[in-house]
A and B are shown apart, each in its own frame.
Chain A
Amino acid sequence: MGEVQERRPEPEEGQGQGRGRGQEEAPGGGNGGRFHPAYFGMYLALALILSYVETLIPFYVGIPGVKLGLTNLVIVLMLYDRGASQALVLSCARVLLAGFLFGNLSSILYSMAGGVLSLLCMAGARRTGKFSVYGVSMVGGVTHNIGQILVAMAVVESVGIAFYLPVLLVSGVVTGALIGVAAAEVRKRLPRA
């Protein structure tokens, strides 16, 4: 994880809501932008476990590429608690590790495109202040699918796959909403870190 630790965390900008301080046991001690290896490692482990859990859930509706995107829950939480740059590192690290553990190189390619695009869009959406957690998560779900289908079109060199786009748009918004609900509930119960 050397790559991860070299990153200088940027101070979090434009944090919308006040952070609850005075919870000494909470990792991070109230400063949203600080990088804490232990905290980061815990989130990365959580993301990896969710990647694995997702392979266990037979959530298959007949269309390839439709997945629950459970790990996006961790990414959304990280985005809100620690800011975009740490969430980006988390996303990339989890794609690489999960890819080598459960997938292959091409699945890394797809996940990386989807993960990076969705994270950038989610960070942008959050920054506008016009979206709640649900909306940010829906943005992530949809753009994740768009990123993957773009890679698929480049790999297969066929535009015909765009036929899946409407289905993937709808599935992205649905799974994004589910993840958004979950993220909002988790955030209510987590001590403000």
Chain B
Amino acid sequence: MKKGDWIWLAAVLGAAAVLFAIYMAYQGRGSAAVAVVTVDGEEFGVYPLDQDAQIWINGTNELVIRGHEADMVSADCPDQVCVNQKPASRNGETIVCLPNKVVVEIRGGQEAEVDQVAN
């Protein structure tokens, strides 16, 4: 290995480390994902995914935020479709309870569709 090889190696690794640090700082500041809860088209509340919480929505549905995921754990409707849905954590994912007109949508945070395009 010549000297130039080592310089290039160090420069690339350094650039990667700096970029990574910048992205980390940028991501930690403000662009965190939130769960937006709407009832009958009107906004009920916005809850950050990085804080664990238990939210009662009009006494009909119970939404739990835990481990950066939003999960509907109970509902008073008979079909329980929303309860059986997977926890939502990525941008654009939704949990819908039709009988109670409750929609939980994840906004911001990790893009779900980038993976397929970038390879």
User: In whole angstroms, how far apart are the Cα atoms of A115 and B49 in the complex?
Assistant: 41
Q: Smallest Cβ distance from A39 to chain B, in angstroms?
A: 28
Smallest Cβ-Cβ distance to B2: which chain A residue: A132
Instruction: Decide: A142 near B2, CB < 8 A? Known: A64-B118, A161-B114, A163-B23.
Output: no
B1 touches A134 (CB 8 A): yes
Interface size class of A (residues with CB under 8 A): 20 to 34
Nearest B-chain residue to A155, judged by Cβ: B117
Least Cβ distance of A166 to chain B in Å?
4
Chain B minimum-CB-distance residue to A136 = B5
Q: Which of B16, B111, B118, B119 contacts A169 (CB 8 A)?
A: B16
Would A173 and B115 count as touching, CB distance under 8 A? no
Q: Does B46 interact with chain A (Cβ within 8 Å)?
A: no
Chain A min CB distance to B6 (Å): 8
Chain A residues in 8 Å Cβ range of B111: 160
Query: Is A156 within 8 A of B20, CB to CB?
Result: no
Check A96 for interface membership: any CB of B closer than 8 A: no
Task: Give the dominant DSSP class at B's interface.
Answer: helix
| CB closest chain-B residue, reference A107 | B119
Residue A139 CB within 8 A of the other chain: yes
- Quick check: A166 and B20 within 8 Å, CB to CB? yes
CB–CB A65/B2 < 8 A: no
Contacts of A172 in B (CB 8 A): 12
Contacts of A142 in B (CB 8 A): 12
How far is B13's CA from A138's CA once the two chains are assembled, in angstroms? 11
Given that A155-B117, A156-B114 are contacting pairs, would A128 and B4 also be in contact in the complex, using a CB cutoff of 8 Å?
Answer: yes
Closest approach, in angstroms, between the C-beta of A79 and any C-beta of chain B? 16
Task: Give complex CA distance A130, B117 in Å.
Answer: 36
Interface residues of B in 1-26 (CB under 8 A from A): 1-5, 8-9, 12-13, 15-17, 19-20, 23
Q: A169-B16, A173-B12, A173-B13 are in contact. Are A135 and B5 (CB under 8 A)?
A: yes
The answer to whether A138 touches B9 (Cβ under 8 A) is: yes
Q: How far is the CA of A142 from the CA of B117 in the complex (A)?
A: 20
B16→A166 contact, CB < 8 A: yes
Complex-state Cα separation, A149 to B119, whole angstroms: 9
Rounded to whole angstroms, the CA-CA distance of A147 and B29 in the bound complex is 29
CB atoms of B8 and A139 under 8 A apart? yes
- Interface flags, B62-91, vs A, CB<8A=1, else 0: 000000000000000000000000000000
State the 10 A-B residue pairs at the shortest beta-carbon distance, nearest first: A64-B119, A135-B5, A130-B4, A169-B16, A166-B20, A166-B16, A132-B2, A166-B19, A131-B4, A173-B12
A-B contact pairs, 13 of them (CB 8 A): A64-B115, A130-B3, A132-B1, A134-B5, A135-B9, A149-B118, A156-B118, A161-B114, A164-B118, A166-B15, A166-B19, A169-B16, A169-B19
